[in-house]
Structure 1
């Protein structure tokens, strides 16, 4: 009868080889990042069990929920985590400092959960980060200065939280950041004039906060600014800077209910301005008779102290002008002026383009897409078509 010893020896050897090789095969993702994910998971409350598959396996090869990895290993022999997408998963708990260990991350997305606590300063260590999306949570505390150390950041969305404290001056270092969405928080103090150095800034949304002081006139130096939205703050005793008439790229200027005083500046050199809301302030003097943008659709001057207006003012049918509760209305005699003095209804306000750029939208599909700020559809994204001097969005909106 032939001996079975050689066969058994080969079988045992094969089993031993598999046992020794198994850890190397299983540990495909950088172990430092795996440990970080485990710490992140342990700090979260996940009542629906969306992250149950984080309990075992490898993040990249086992397809952990919300974890997106690079397709190829790096020089260190490991796969690295590219995106952490945890949008609308009913998560609560806290964000931990170990988030900063995800050193290859491009997208960090915790939007529309119930996350508590503060924003870890260690996120400022992720120099590859392009999208920081934390809006729609219960975050508190101040914005870490270290977030100004993110050289590749395209967008920061922290709106719809309870963030307090002042805007860090270090944000002036965010040279690639296009979108600052920080509305609906409790951010206070003066807007740092240093932020006027931001070369890529397109959207600056800080409405519904506790800002005070004055609006920096240096913001007129921002070369690509499309939307400036500061409604419902308290710039008591301040005026609208005259220099704002030089922001040639501006599409939307919204300063509703900001305790502003003084005259309305000359905006005739803002050729693409489509929406202007200066209502519920203490602005004085006259409504500028200068020619505004041919693109203008809405001008809201309600509830101010404006006393004069050109009798020849006769806006096109597609342009909405609101003058209700201004002294000029008490002396108006011409029919076209009286029509402008009627109160605005909620239906009319809702149908205007005040919200045509929805500040609560999630990100566009990739960083190559931009919101179309004058689209009639909410959250409409399109790809800018770049040409030699400027770029034109496929929808017809000019983008610089």
Structure 2
């Protein structure tokens, strides 16, 4: 019985060990407490979400949005996450955020913050996530963010940021996601970003970017999504080297003032989405077949000429093919819907409007769930074909 009691005591002690930090009276690092107080001093909190920041110790009293951990054998607890997304906060970000020297997550998404991003953020070398999207931040992207070797994700989209994308971002060797879309960024996209070994998503759409598209992106080893719609790459063309971005799933360059021919992109094995509409692209449509899992091909609102090639058939996942508003002639290939799998609720939209097409194919027999928009110029007749469900 005595042995059983000894074992029970040992088990009890083992269970209590995780709580020993609080039991021993551990408190938050004083410099980090000062940092949190400075952060609160710059914020406007009309909903009183941070009311409990006025009392007790941040870690021991569970301040709203503050998450702490013990780091190694340090006698203090450290703030590792600051999660204040969607709290209706306004005001500015305090430079003293850098006092949170063990911070891994900085999350102020979907608030109403104004002012600039403090350059001091670049001193928090432990940061993995910077989530500042959906605010009203202005000014430039700090060069110092490039110091953050552990950073996995930078989300600053949907703000009012201006100025260039810092070349120092090419030092972010751990970054997978760069979301900088929906701002007022200007200048060229740094070609140096092509060297980032883990970069998956580069989202820079809806800015004021200019200059050439970097042909070096062909060397990006992991890129899956490159989205740069609604910028002004006037006089630039789509680099032919993009056919070598073997990991690419989505290429979206809509409304970018691009010129020249459409490059052959048939060697991108997993390309599922291609939108290069609303540009000034010329020449004929490449005749090599795109990846078999592609769902969307939008080449509309350009200046393409020649005939519609046969290579759009045999694409089993295709859902949208838009060639609207070009200078295409001839007729639509009667085999264009061959090999397309329209099971369940899946549908197919084919848009050929506003071209110079002259005839309907003799064997015009689209499958069910297909919408074809087709204008015959010599008849001035708009034809839309939507077969009934079978």
TM-score, normalised relative to structure 2: 0.78
Contact 1:302 1:325 in 2 (8 A): yes
Structure 1, unmatched stretches of 5+, are 1-23, 344-400
- Does residue 1:324 correspond to 2:335, yes or no? no
- Matched residue, 1:44: 43
Residue 266 of structure 1 deviates from its aligned partner by: 1.0
CA distance in 2, matches of 1:110, 1:325: 43
- Does residue 1:200 correspond to 2:198, yes or no? yes
Superposition misfits of 4+ residues, deviation over 4 angstroms = 24-27, 333-339
**Over residues 308-329 of structure 1, what are the superposed CA-to-partner deviations in whole Å (9 max), with x where a residue is unaligned?**
234534534741211000000x
Among residues 139, 144, 147, which one is paired with 2:137 in the alignment?
139
Among residues 353, 374, 378, which one is paired with 1:342 in the alignment?
353
SS at match of 1:276: strand
- Matched residue, 1:367: none
CA distance in 2, matches of 1:271, 1:333: 26
- Greater share of strand: 2
- Matched residue, 2:287: 289
CA distance in 2, matches of 1:84, 1:239: 43
**Aligned residue pair count:** 318
When residues 40 and 27 of structure 1 are mapped into structure 2, their CA distance, relative to the original with a 3 A threshold, is farther
Contact 2:292 2:317 in 1 (8 A): no
CA distance in 1, matches of 2:71, 2:181: 39
Among residues 209, 212, 216, which one is paired with 1:211 in the alignment?
209
Residue 336 of structure 1 deviates from its aligned partner by: 6.7
CA distance in 2, matches of 1:168, 1:309: 43
CA distance in 1, matches of 2:75, 2:326: 69
1:41-190 aligned within 5 A: 41-70=40-69, 72=70, 74-190=72-188
Residue 219 of structure 1 deviates from its aligned partner by: 0.8
TM-score, normalised relative to structure 1: 0.77
CA distance in 1, matches of 2:101, 2:267: 45
CA distance in 1, matches of 2:149, 2:105: 14
Contact 1:288 1:309 in 2 (8 A): no
Contact 1:162 1:186 in 2 (8 A): yes
**Over residues 266-299 of structure 1, what are the superposed CA-to-partner deviations in whole Å (9 max), with x where a residue is unaligned?**
1111000000000000111111110210111110
1:251-266 aligned within 5 A: 251-266=249-264
Structure 2, unmatched stretches of 5+, are 1-22, 337-348, 355-390
Aligned alpha-carbon RMSD (Å): 1.9
Residue 76 of structure 1 deviates from its aligned partner by: 3.4
**Over residues 103-158 of structure 1, what are the superposed CA-to-partner deviations in whole Å (9 max), with x where a residue is unaligned?**
10000000000000000000000000000000000000000100000000000000
Residue 196 of structure 1 deviates from its aligned partner by: 1.3
CA distance in 1, matches of 2:42, 2:229: 36
Contact 2:289 2:311 in 1 (8 A): no
SS at match of 1:163: strand
